[in-house]
């Protein structure tokens, strides 16, 4: 018997992303709890920018592939930076593509949100926007989330969080997601 299937997504495409480090910690905890986690690197599918003319000719293969991966998942785990106080374009573009044509792929999927920034806000301005968008496509976003400020000082060279209390917050969020998916 396998554990709940989770699609994990990082909103940053760059190598060395702090959000990818945060996501990796969350994924490790989810796997330790028995979840089957598929990690999407948004750089890898090579998604085009959403264009209704392209959609009218049939969904591009990278979009189909991402849709299939989301279709197999029961829940979502997202770690994303904040760009200009909102959702990075690459992540929003991926959500827009997967929501087309309206297909219910996000519907009733429990989702955990996290984010980290080098500055003091830890994606506090982005996350309400992401919550709104995810709700619009039918996902169920957990009421708690993780905001990690001062990302450049937060991680050890091995990629762990220096502050044990913050690590517990990440683990608690992931545990809440996994227990929702098991119930």
For ligand FNR, the closer of residues 50 and 83 by Cβ is 83
Question: Could you tell me the smallest distance in angstroms from the CB atom of residue 14 to ligand FNR?
Answer: 5
Question: Could you tell me the smallest distance in angstroms from the CB atom of residue 161 to ligand FNR?
Answer: 14
Strand 146-148 to 110-116 pairing: parallel
CA pair distance 117, 144, nearest whole angstrom: 18
Burial class (CB within 10 angstroms; exposed 0-12, middle 13-18, buried 19+) of 20? buried
For ligand FNR, the closer of residues 99 and 145 by Cβ is 145
Question: Could you tell me the smallest distance in angstroms from the CB atom of residue 171 to ligand FNR?
Answer: 20
- Three-class SS of residue 39? strand
Binding site for ligand FNR (CB under 6 A): 12, 14, 17-19, 81-85, 117-119, 121
For ligand FNR, the closer of residues 50 and 155 by Cβ is 155
Determine which helix (DSSP H) or strand (DSSP E) holds 148, and give its type and residue range: strand 146-148
Question: Could you tell me the smallest distance in angstroms from the CB atom of residue 125 to ligand FNR?
Answer: 7
For the four alpha carbons of 102, 23, 146 and 110, in that order, the dihedral sign comes to positive
For ligand FNR, the closer of residues 17 and 74 by Cβ is 17
Cβ neighbours of 147 (radius 10 Å): 20
């Amino acid at each position: 018997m396998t554990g709940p299937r989770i699609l994990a997504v990082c909103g940053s495409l760059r190598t060395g992303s702090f959000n990818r480090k945060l996501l990796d910690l969350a994924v490790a905890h989810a796997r330790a709890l028995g979840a089957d986690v598929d990690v999407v690197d948004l750089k890898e599918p090579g998604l085009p920018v959403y264009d209704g003319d392209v959609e009218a000719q049939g969904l591009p293969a990278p979009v189909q592939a991402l849709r299939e991966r989301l279709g197999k998942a029961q829940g979502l785990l997202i770690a994303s930076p904040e760009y200009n106080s909102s959702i990075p374009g690459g992540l929003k573009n991926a959500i827009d593509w997967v929501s087309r044509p309206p297909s219910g792929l996000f519907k009733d999927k429990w989702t955990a949100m996290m984010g980290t920034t080098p500055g003091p806000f830890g994606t506090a301005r982005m996350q309400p926007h992401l919550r709104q968008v995810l709700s619009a496509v039918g996902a169920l976003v957990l009421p708690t989330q993780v905001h990690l400020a001062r990302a450049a000082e937060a991680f050890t060279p091995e990629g762990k969080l220096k502050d044990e209390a913050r690590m517990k917050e990440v683990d608690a969020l992931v545990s809440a997601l996994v227990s929702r998916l098991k119930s």
